[in-house]
């Protein structure tokens, strides 16, 4: 097993400190540091950075545990080849890409709901005022389909936390550099090569993001498009670097 590298170690410490701090401070920490929709009164510009160091509170310990294990496992291998500065640039870029795609998708859902309500006689200013108070008009549920209503409300009132977007970028980079390395999920004990494992994982996220469900039914509460945003930025960066900097090196 590869030893933990310096930058990965620092990122692990920062994430754990954020987690412990948020457990001590409680709801105000999540209000201030998790990422809200940009039209929400709870949105702050620094949240596009701080959200990726926050994780779901207890008892959801597996959220931070899985992300930190993946950061250690894949991040150490990548930092070993890249060095600390390049690694942290890649990691933060993927986290920002996750925030961007998540926000774009939420904007689509929010505007779709707003437009439907405006078509039925509501004013946007009136809708935003009600939402800013953390409320909604029960008549909206009669005008929107259940899925549209859920997406509309979730886009505005929901918040996002976690390093998962950045982690998905690391997964893509790992698959680029070590395509034949064998990986396994806890519920799939058969090792699968990274070049198949990672695309398969992304297809699952895409399906769940579009369908709005989870593998076990119901709403998962997982920001699937944030995962895909981190993966997309990771792919584009790896493609660019491979094309322009590593033409004389084979990654296999």
Two structure tokens written together for 99: 């925030």
Q: What is the pLDDT of residue 250?
A: 46
Is 72's pLDDT higher than 70? yes
**Summary mean pLDDT of the chain:** 89
Give every CB contact of residue 160 below 8 A, 6+ residues apart in sequence: 34, 35, 51, 99, 102, 223, 226
Residue 209 has what pLDDT? 85
Say what percent of the chain tops pLDDT 90. Answer: 72
Dist. CA 170–CA 79, nearest whole Å: 10
d(CA 78, CA 176): 11
pLDDT level of residue 49 (50, 70, 90 thresholds): very high
pLDDT band at 156 (very low <50, low <70, confident <90, very high): very high
The first and second tokens of residue 121, run together, are 């006689």
What's this model's pTM, rounded to 2 decimal places? 0.89
Q: What is the pLDDT of residues 73-120, one digit of tens each?
A: 999 999 999 999 999 999 999 999 999 999 999 999 999 999 999 999
Residues 6+ apart with CB under 8 A from 162: 51, 52, 54, 55, 56, 63, 67, 223, 226
Contact 162, 30 (CB under 8 A): no
Q: Which two tokens stand for residue 220?
A: 């998962």
pLDDT at 195 over 50: yes
pLDDT of residue 118: 93
Bridge partner residues of 225 (DSSP): none
The number of angstroms, rounded, from the C-alpha of 84 to the middle of its chain's C-alpha atoms is 22
The reported pLDDT for the residue numbered 58 is 82
Categorize the per-residue pLDDT at 217 as very low, low, confident or very high, splitting at 50, 70 and 90.
Answer: very low
Percent of the chain with pLDDT over 70: 90
- pLDDT reported for residue 244: 79
Q: What is the mean pLDDT of residues 187-191?
A: 70
């Amino acid at each position: 097993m590869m030893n933990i590298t310096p930058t990965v170690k620092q990122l692990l410490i920062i994430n754990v400190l954020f987690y412990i701090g948020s457990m001590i401070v409680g709801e105000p920490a999540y209000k201030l540091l998790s990422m809200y929709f940009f039209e929400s009164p709870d949105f702050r510009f620094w949240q596009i950075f701080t959200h990726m160091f926050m994780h779901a509170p207890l008892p959801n310990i597996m959220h931070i545990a899985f992300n930190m294990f993946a950061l250690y496992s894949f991040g150490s291998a990548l930092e070993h080849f890249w060095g600390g500065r390049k690694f942290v640039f890649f990691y933060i870029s993927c986290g920002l890409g996750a925030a961007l795609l998540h926000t774009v998708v939420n904007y689509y859902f929010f505007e779709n709901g707003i437009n439907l309500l405006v078509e039925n006689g509501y004013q946007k200013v009136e809708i935003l005022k009600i939402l800013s108070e953390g409320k909604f008009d029960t008549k909206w549920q009669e005008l929107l389909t259940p899925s549209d209503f859920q997406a509309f409300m979730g886009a505005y009132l929901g918040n996002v936390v976690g390093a998962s977007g950045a982690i998905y970028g690391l997964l893509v980079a790992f698959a680029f550099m070590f395509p034949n390395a064998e990986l396994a999920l806890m519920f799939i004990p058969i090792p699968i090569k990274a070049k198949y494992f990672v695309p398969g994982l992304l297809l699952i996220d895409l399906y769940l993001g579009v369908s709005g469900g989870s593998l076990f039914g119901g709403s998962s509460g997982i920001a699937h498009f944030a995962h895909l945003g981190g993966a997309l930025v990771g792919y584009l960066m790896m493609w660019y670097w491979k094309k322009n900097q590593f033409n004389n090196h084979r990654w296999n």
